[in-house]
Homo-oligomer: A and B are copies of this chain.
Amino acid sequence: MTERPALEIITIGNELLLGETIDGNSAWLGRRLAQAGIRVARRATVGDDAATIRQAVGEALERTGVVLCTGGLGPTRDDVTKPVVAALFGRELVLDEQLLERLRQRFRERGLEMPASNRTQAEVPAGARVFANPRGTAPGLALEDEEGRLAILLPGVPHEMHALVELSVLPLLRERWPRRGRPILHRVLRTTGMPESALAERIEEVVAGLEPLSVAFLPAVTGVDLRLTSWGELEEADAVRAFDRAEAALLEHIGTHVYGRGDEELTDAVAALLTSRRLTLALAESCTGGLIGKRLTDRPGASVFLLADVVAYADEAKVRLLGVAPATLAAHGAVSRDVVREMARGAQRVGQAECAIAVTGIAGPSGGTPAKPIGTVWIAAAVGERLEDRHVRFGGDRAEIRERAAQAALALLWTLLRESGT
């Protein structure tokens, strides 16, 4: 493996040092550059202070030779990155007439006159490459000296920075480093319903055989995500083939727990099954309070299958809206197997839906008893005549218990749908 080309990142802004803004730009750049086979050697964050910016940029150029700065390119006098870096390279700021006209045009299109302060944004260091900003007023800039030291200046607004990186910075770096490193690539498989330790045991042998890919276990309230990583040993096409082989091997062992890849949600898997089979769904929620409905309707397309969600928070609502028998509630309490089953059947009936999910439990922080401590949840799922229930005791705080309960209920329906499918 060849040593990867490297650069340093400097993010600029008092709001970063004060912690009012979390530096998401550095993380985004780290991921994007890793994918492009470029290493981030080091990062720094400095305030809107000319001397410190000058010092930090100077050190990075001395050390690594290439520095990418974000922030401090706005039109106000707080924004000093451009004159400071221009001075460091011994360049004057000159007015770029074309850029000025583009800025004026931008304001005109919005029916506005350009404020005088924005004129400084059309000034660029002599000899700099200027990258038009498709989403804002501050252009990207690149300065290179005779010894090949390169400073790239980008605005700090994330979506403007992202666009400039894709359109201008990555092409520039590819030009500079035609033989750059192999990319660091990831593939994530998302699992649910199996704790990390059990999962690790089940796939121990498979994992050992996946080299040079590494596997990380990332537990979350939704389940455990498995992140496969190719750390630059493979070319992109080979890494994709290795991911495919690894995925196939893992699915053989834990296939019934893998609901998606990347950022796919369990709701996407459930939605896909319901939609393709033209089945309809109704929900009956108690402790999750609308969370399952919310999650299913987060993405478009839920209206095809989701008919209704009855959040019956009070006992009387369970009786009146879902037809739970008062005798069942009296005999077993609201958090019980019998009630959750009646809730599921009630949801099917009142929603006139083929499938149902029901949840009732104690999310806390109060309401727990020795027999039914906080975290006690009953879930049920129905597909036609078939009705399955499950009793779980979740850990965590109120929010975590609710999220875990919603995920477990969706997982139960997902399993039933897969078992009942063709």
Q: Contact residues of A with B, CB < 8 Å?
A: 16-24, 26-32, 34, 39-47, 52, 56, 59, 184, 283, 285, 287-294, 296-300, 302-303, 306-314, 316-317, 320-321, 350-352, 363-367, 398-399, 402
- CB neighbours (8 Å) of A310 from chain B are 308-311, 321
Cross-interface CB contact of A314 among B19, B45, B303, B365, cutoff 8 Å = B303
The answer to whether A23 and B26 have CB atoms under 8 Å apart is yes
The answer to whether B300 and A290 have CB atoms under 8 Å apart is no
Number of copies: 2
The answer to whether A297 and B313 have CB atoms under 8 Å apart is yes
- Give A216 Cβ to nearest chain B Cβ, in Å: 9
Beyond known contacts A289-B296, A293-B311, A300-B366: 18 more, CB 8 A cutoff: A16-B43, A18-B40, A19-B28, A19-B32, A22-B23, A23-B23, A41-B52, A42-B46, A45-B45, A283-B311, A289-B294, A289-B297, A293-B293, A300-B364, A300-B365, A303-B367, A307-B316, A321-B321
Contacts known (A293-B289, A308-B317); A52 close to B45, Cβ less than 8 A:
no
The answer to whether A19 and B23 have CB atoms under 8 Å apart is no
- Give A115 Cβ to nearest chain B Cβ, in Å: 15
Assembly CA distance A74 to B376 (angstroms):
35
Cross-interface CB contact of A27 among B22, B29, B59, B309, cutoff 8 Å = B22
The answer to whether A321 and B308 have CB atoms under 8 Å apart is yes
- Give A154 Cβ to nearest chain B Cβ, in Å: 16
The answer to whether A26 and B34 have CB atoms under 8 Å apart is no
- Give A367 Cβ to nearest chain B Cβ, in Å: 8
Subset of 28 A-B contacts with CB under 8 Å: A16-B26, A19-B26, A19-B27, A22-B22, A22-B27, A41-B47, A42-B44, A43-B46, A44-B45, A283-B311, A288-B294, A289-B302, A289-B309, A291-B297, A297-B402, A300-B363, A302-B313, A303-B314, A303-B367, A306-B313, A306-B314, A308-B321, A309-B310, A310-B311, A311-B311, A317-B351, A321-B350, A321-B351
- CB neighbours (8 Å) of A289 from chain B are 290, 293-294, 296-298, 302, 306, 309
- CB neighbours (8 Å) of A307 from chain B are 313-314, 316-317
The answer to whether A309 and B313 have CB atoms under 8 Å apart is yes
- Which 6 pairs, one residue from A and one from B, show the smallest C-beta to C-beta distance? A290-B293, A289-B297, A19-B30, A290-B290, A309-B311, A19-B31
- CB neighbours (8 Å) of A22 from chain B are 22-24, 27
- CB neighbours (8 Å) of A16 from chain B are 26-27, 30, 43
- Give the residue name and chain of the B residue nearest to A399 (CB): B298
- Give A214 Cβ to nearest chain B Cβ, in Å: 12
- CB neighbours (8 Å) of A365 from chain B are 300
- CB neighbours (8 Å) of A367 from chain B are 303
- Give A14 Cβ to nearest chain B Cβ, in Å: 10
- Give A335 Cβ to nearest chain B Cβ, in Å: 12
- Give A160 Cβ to nearest chain B Cβ, in Å: 17
The answer to whether A18 and B321 have CB atoms under 8 Å apart is no
The answer to whether A23 and B18 have CB atoms under 8 Å apart is no
- CB neighbours (8 Å) of A398 from chain B are 298-300
The answer to whether A18 and B42 have CB atoms under 8 Å apart is no
- CB neighbours (8 Å) of A23 from chain B are 22-23, 26-27
- CB neighbours (8 Å) of A45 from chain B are 26, 42-45
Most chain B beta carbons < 10 A, residue from A21, A24, A184, A364: A24
The answer to whether A19 and B34 have CB atoms under 8 Å apart is yes
- CB neighbours (8 Å) of A306 from chain B are 289, 313-314
- Give the residue name and chain of the B residue nearest to A311 (CB): B309
- CB neighbours (8 Å) of A41 from chain B are 17, 47, 52
- Give the residue name and chain of the B residue nearest to A350 (CB): B321
- CB neighbours (8 Å) of A293 from chain B are 285, 289-290, 293-294, 311, 313
- CB neighbours (8 Å) of A317 from chain B are 307-308, 351
